[in-house]
Structure 1
Amino acid sequence: MRFMIIVKASADSEAGIMPPESLFAEMAAYHEQLAKAGVLLDASGLQPTSKGWRIRYADGKRQVIDGPFSESKELVAGYTIIQVRSRDEALEWSRRFPAPHGKDVEAEIEVRPLYELEDFDQSPAIERFRAMGVGSEQKQ
């Protein structure tokens, strides 16, 4: 089972303010533990929304909306993707995730399972994804 640990943005992360070295060290130690356990698939921080854009779909048209976006508490600042055997194992790993904006800063992470191709009915479109090698668990 794959899970995404989603780090919510803060005003500082949206301003492009880098966390202190001590937080980088704590995050590195945590991710090294994930890697040693063989459950780490990917992890990265995201640049501020001021450097990104959204595509809005309405009335059969697409509209590009440049960042920045408001409501930083609803934005994503980074993620970690893990592959574990169960929801309980994912919960245990997520409980150990370092405070994402520092020990004394109120923050929140969100953890959600990723869909696997096996979750969908078989169809030609699903087989096309399978042929690309995406959307499916890697064997541990």
Structure 2
Amino acid sequence: MKFMMVVKATKDSEEGKMPSQELIDAMARYNEELVRAGVLLAAEGLHPTSNAIQISYPEPNKKPIVTDGPFTEAKELIAGFTLIEVKSKEEAIEWAMRMPDPHGYGQGQIELRQVFEASELTDDETALAKEKQLRETIASKPKA
């Protein structure tokens, strides 16, 4: 089962304030634990929305609308994510509970979301085979 730990943005992260060295070190130790346990798939921080672009689809079959950041609702924004693959929801919660406060200062908030598996989205064998082939191609591609 894959889960994404979505780190919510704060006023500080949206202002581009960098984390303290203490927090960077704590997150590095946490990520090392995830790697040693063999569950880490990805972990990244995101630039503030002042550098972002939003693409919305307000009408079906119409051209999407492109909007430059920043975006104002910080509580709805994300500042980073960690993607893990574990055996159960309970294990995902355990890992999420071990993450250091992602912003420090008691401002951090993590949303834990399960990632859909292709088989949960369709039972079409052709589509599932294409998805499997795509993932295998991605996995074998040399890293840039």
Equivalent residue, structure 1, for 2:117:
116
Structure 1 Cα separation of the partners of residues 51 and 119 of structure 2: 35
Structure 2 residue 3 is matched with structure 1 residue 8: no
SS at match of 2:102: coil
SS at match of 2:112: strand
AA in 2 matched with 1:58: P
TM-score under structure 2 normalisation?
A: 0.87
Q: How many residue pairs are counted as aligned between the two chains?
A: 133
Q: Share of identical aligned residues, percent?
A: 46
**Higher helix residue share:** 2
SS at match of 2:26: helix
AA in 1 matched with 2:52: G
Equivalent residue, structure 2, for 1:91:
93
Structure 2 Cα separation of the partners of residues 131 and 46 of structure 1: 29
Task: State the 1:129 CA deviation.
Answer: 2.1
1:114-139 per-position Cα deviation (integer Å, ceiling 9, x unaligned): 001121232233432222117xxxxx
Q: Which stretch of structure 1 is more off in the superposition, 25-34 or 55-64?
A: 55-64
SS at match of 2:64: strand
Structure 2 residue 133 is matched with structure 1 residue 131: yes
AA in 2 matched with 1:112: R
Structure 2 Cα separation of the partners of residues 65 and 126 of structure 1: 34
AA in 2 matched with 1:21: Q
Distance 1:125 1:58, change over 3 A: farther
User: Any unmatched runs of 5+ in structure 2?
Assistant: 137-144
SS at match of 1:133: helix
AA in 2 matched with 1:34: L
- Structure 1 residue ranges, 4+ long, deviating more than 6 angstroms after superposition: none
**Alpha-carbon RMSD:** 1.3
Task: State the 1:52 CA deviation.
Answer: 1.0
Equivalent residue, structure 2, for 1:17:
17
Structure 2 Cα separation of the partners of residues 127 and 115 of structure 1: 16
AA in 1 matched with 2:77: L
Task: State the 1:108 CA deviation.
Answer: 1.0
Equivalent residue, structure 2, for 1:41:
41
User: Any unmatched runs of 5+ in structure 1?
Assistant: 135-140
